C-alpha cells in the first residue's frame, strides 16, 4: 500500500529553499493525521549542510547524491526521481509552485502516470490519506477543490507562504544516501552558464512582502522611493506591465496575467490602477494596501486598506514612520 508524504526539496547555493521547509512542515501536520512517514527528497552533490538542516523536518531524507543534478535539468531530475518513487511508492509527492516545480512536476506526473494539481493555495488531508488540493482559477476569483483518483502518488505544487514553517527538534530524520546508476551520456541537456539577475532581493513569488508601483510613479528614477520602502520592510519590488513596457523595470518583476502570480502576506500597490490583467496576479495575497490619487481606481475594489492620495507624499512618510516603528521594536 502506498505510504509516505514526500516533498521534493529545492536548494540554492547549498541551502534549502523556504518553500520546501513550508511543505515539509505541512507534511508533518498531515502525518499526525494519517500516521504516514514524511520523506524529503533532494538531488545533488555537496549538500551536506542542506541535508543536515532538514533533519528536524522529516522522518527520512532521500539524498540522491551526484554532480549531475546541479545545475537543475528536468532530464536528470526525472532520471533520479522516477525510479525512487516507483521503488518506495509514496502516497503523496509535493513540490513548490516555483519555476523548477512548474517545469518538473507535469513531466514527473506523466512518467509516473498519475494525477497532478498545479499552483495550489491550500491542501487538506483525510485520515485515509486522501488529499484535497485548493487551486485558484481566473486569477483567484474562484477556488477549485480538486480530489485525486485512486492512482498514487497524489501530486501537487504549492505556492509560497501557504504553510508556516514549524521545526520539530524532537525529529531526527534518517539520511538515506543514494548513488544513482545513471548513464550521463544519455542526458542531452546541459546548462552552460547562469546570469544572475541584478539585486539581492527575493523573487516576488517568494517574498512575504511585495511593494509595487505602476505608471503613477511617472519616471524610472522615482522607483528609488519604492526601493527605500522595500528595504525598510525587507520586501521585494514588483510592478505593472505599463512600466515594463516603458522599459522602466524588468519583466521578472511584473505581476499579472502576462507576468507572475504572487502570494505575499502583504502587497502594497502605489499608483497602480488595478486593471484586471494586473489583479489576476494578486488574487491570493493575504492583505492588499493600495494608494492612488483616483478615488475610483479599480485597485480599491481589491484592497483591504486604501488611501486616496499622492504616492510622492505617502511613500516617503510611510518609509520614515516604519523606520521609527521598526527600530523601536528591535
Ligand X SMILES: Cc1cc2nc3c(=O)[nH]c(=O)nc-3n(C[C@H](O)[C@H](O)[C@H](O)COP(=O)(O)OP(=O)(O)OC[C@H]3O[C@@H](n4cnc5c(N)ncnc54)[C@H](O)[C@@H]3O)c2cc1C
38-43 vs 60-64, strand pairing mode: parallel
**Residue 283 interacts with ligand X (CB under 6 A)?**
no
Residue 56 or 256 with smaller CB distance to ligand X: 256
- What is the distance, to the nearest Å, from the Cα of residue 256 to the centroid of all Cα atoms in its chain? 16
Q: Which of 216, 238, 283, 306 touches ligand X (CB under 6 A)?
A: 216
CA triplet 34, 154, 135: central angle to 5 degrees? 100
* Candidate residues 130, 166, 171, 215; the one interacting with ligand X per rule CB under 6 A: 215
Q: Which one of the spans 53-61, 171-179, 190-198, 256-264 is the region binding ligand X (CB under 6 A)?
A: 256-264
Number of residues near ligand X (by CB under 6 A): 27
Give CA–CA dist 238/61, Å, rounded: 36
| Contact call for residue 253 and ligand X (CB under 6 A) | no
Task: Note whether 68 binds ligand X by CB under 6 A.
Answer: no
Distance in Å, CB of 170 to ligand X, minimum: 45
**Residue 301 interacting with ligand X (CB under 6 A):** no
- Residue 303 engages ligand X in binding (rule: CB under 6 A): no
Place of cell 546508476: 181
How many residues are listed for the chain in this entry? 330
DSSP one-letter string for 7-34: EEPPEETTEE-HHHHHHHHHHHHHHHHH
The whole-angstrom separation of Cα 312 and Cα 226 is: 10
| Nearer to ligand X (CB atom), residue 41 or residue 318 | 318
Q: According to the binding rule CB under 6 A, does residue 297 interact with ligand X? A: yes
Short-list 6, 38, 253, CA closest to 154? 6
Q: Which is nearer to ligand X, 160 or 254 (CB)?
A: 254
Q: Which residues bind ligand X (CB under 6 A)?
A: 214-216, 240-243, 254-259, 271-273, 275, 277-278, 291-294, 297, 310-312
Amino acid at each position: 500500500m502506498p505510504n509516505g508524504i514526500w516533498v521534493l526539496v529545492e536548494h540554492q547555493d547549498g541551502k534549502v529553499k523556504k518553500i520546501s521547509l513550508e511543505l515539509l512542515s505541512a507534511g508533518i501536520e498531515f502525518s499526525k493525521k494519517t500516521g504516514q512517514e514524511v520523506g524529503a527528497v533532494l538531488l545533488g552533490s555537496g549538500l551536506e549542510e542542506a541535508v543536515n538542516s532538514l533533519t528536524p523536518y522529516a522522518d527520512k531524507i532521500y539524498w540522491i547524491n551526484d554532480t549531475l543534478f546541479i545545475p537543475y535539468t528536468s532530464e536528470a531530475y526525472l532520471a533520479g526521481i522516477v525510479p525512487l518513487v516507483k521503488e518506495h511508492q509514496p502516497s503523496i509527492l509535493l513540490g513548490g509552485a516555483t519555476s523548477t516545480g512548474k517545469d518538473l512536476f507535469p513531466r514527473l506526473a506523466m512518467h509516473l502516470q498519475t494525477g497532478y494539481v498545479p499552483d495550489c493555495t491550500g491542501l487538506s488531508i483525510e485520515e485515509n490519506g486522501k488529499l484535497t488540493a485548493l487551486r485558484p482559477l481566473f486569477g483567484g476569483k474562484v477556488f477549485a477543490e480538486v480530489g485525486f483518483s485512486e492512482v498514487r502518488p497524489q501530486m501537487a505544487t504549492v505556492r509560497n507562504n501557504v504553510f508556516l514553517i514549524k521545526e520539530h527538534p524532537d525529529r531526527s530524520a534518517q539520511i538515506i544516501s543514494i548513488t544513482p546508476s545513471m548513464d550521463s551520456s544519455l542526458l542531452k541537456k546541459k546548462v552552460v552558464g547562469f546570469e544572475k539577475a541584478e539585486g539581492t532581493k527575493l523573487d516576488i513569488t517568494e517574498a512575504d512582502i511585495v511593494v509595487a508601483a505602476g505608471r503613477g510613479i511617472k519616471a524610472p528614477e522615482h522607483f528609488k522611493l519604492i526601493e527605500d520602502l522595500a528595504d525598510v520592510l525587507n520586501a521585494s519590488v514588483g510592478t505593472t506591465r505599463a512600466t515594463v513596457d516603458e522599459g522602466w523595470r524588468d519583466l521578472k518583476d511584473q505581476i499579472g496575467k502576462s507576468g507572475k502570480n504572487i502570494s505575499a502576506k502583504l502587497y502594497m500597490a502605489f499608483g497602480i490602477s488595478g486593471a484586471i490583467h494586473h489583479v489576476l496576479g494578486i488574487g491570493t495575497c493575504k492583505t492588499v494596501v493600495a494608494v492612488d490619487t483616483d478615488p475610483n481606481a479599480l485597485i480599491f475594489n481589491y484592497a483591504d486598506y486604501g488611501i486616496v492620495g499622492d504616492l510622492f507624499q505617502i511613500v516617503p512618510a510611510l518609509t520614515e514612520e516604519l523606520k521609527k516603528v521598526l527600530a523601536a521594536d528591535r
